[in-house]
Structure 1
Amino acid sequence: MSEVEAEISMFERIGGAVVVDRLVEAFYGRMDALPEATTIRAMHAPDLGPVKNVLKRYLTEWTGGPKLYSPEKGHPRLRQRHMGFAIGNAERDAWLLCMRGALEETVADGNARQELDMALTKLADWMRNQAGNPHDAGTARP
């Protein structure tokens, strides 16, 4: 990452709210369309509108944009919020397949796309709560 990239938020680097909106729409479009995503799609309500809005607000804030998520929802506590869903390697992989396709489609800046992919991969790994997640072996997250 260059000095200039370090001074500009990821939110700005990718194109702001317009790109976050497109990213989330592309992500859930893939979840609806890809046979590999059937299991994770089944974890969602038939109407994706509400969850799309939550993810848009979360990603906006997570990438350094306006604080749209935490004032309403508080600390993300993503793993805790997803504990009611069985998330193993297959679910993580399906989620990443959808997200990587959406990133490729919507984020023009290759460096930003790669950085987001790395960060989202770590996040997806952390979300696993089934066998295969090293965090389930009693190690605490820093």
Structure 2
Amino acid sequence: MDLRPLEEATLYDRLTEEGLSRLVNKFYDLVHQHVVLKEIFPPDLTETREKQFAFLSGFFGGPSLYMEKYGHPRLRMRHLKFPIGETEARAWLECMRQALRDTVPDQKLREDIFAALARTAVHMINTGT
């Protein structure tokens, strides 16, 4: 357990590795069922879950698992092959908001995580739809 003051604790410290795992798994359970997103993602989300966990670990201030295994995330470049419009970004955020509600009891932590991810989701938009 990290004993740094809350204002110095990273999102990863506050969420914990176990909490991040629960969040990612719940999120992809929701994605798999979402009418818009299930068409974009592969049917088997095992690798996607692993990569998301690795990315979010570093993104939230924890271990740089993604960088160590895959190199720099280059998020926008890696997502250009997928048509991501406002509809897809909103659907992604809708699933993430629900996953946060279902797995993170701390409201302030949910808000902080969602704010960070909302900025990223908007950055991923690469079409006009």
TM-score (norm 1): 0.83
Q: Is structure 2 residue 76 aligned with structure 1 residue 79?
A: yes
Measured against aligned partners, the alpha-carbon deviations of 1:76-101 in whole angstroms (never above 9, x if no partner) come to 11111010111001100110010000
**Structure 2 counterpart of 1:99, one-letter code:** M
Measured against aligned partners, the alpha-carbon deviations of 1:25-67 in whole angstroms (never above 9, x if no partner) come to 110111122xxx3232222221110110000111111111112
Q: What's the % identity of the aligned pairs?
A: 36
Task: Tell me the distance in 1 between the aligned counterparts of 2:32 and 2:128.
Answer: 26
Q: By how many angstroms is 1:107 displaced?
A: 1.4
Unaligned runs of 5+ in 2: none
Q: By how many angstroms is 1:75 displaced?
A: 1.3
TM-score (norm 2): 0.91
Q: By how many angstroms is 1:4 displaced?
A: 2.2
Q: Which residue of 2 aligns with 1:139?
A: none
Q: Which has the larger Rg?
A: 1
User: Residue 117 of structure 1 is aligned with which of 101, 114, 119?
Assistant: 114
Q: Is structure 2 residue 50 aligned with structure 1 residue 59?
A: no
Q: Is structure 2 residue 128 aligned with structure 1 residue 131?
A: yes
Segments ≥4 residues shifted beyond 6 Å: none
- Provide the alpha-carbon RMSD of the alignment: 1.4
Q: Is the 8 A contact 1:88 1:130 kept in 2?
A: yes
Q: Is structure 2 residue 18 aligned with structure 1 residue 21?
A: no
Q: By how many angstroms is 1:8 displaced?
A: 1.2
Measured against aligned partners, the alpha-carbon deviations of 1:3-22 in whole angstroms (never above 9, x if no partner) come to 922211211111x1111110
**Structure 2 counterpart of 1:17, one-letter code:** E
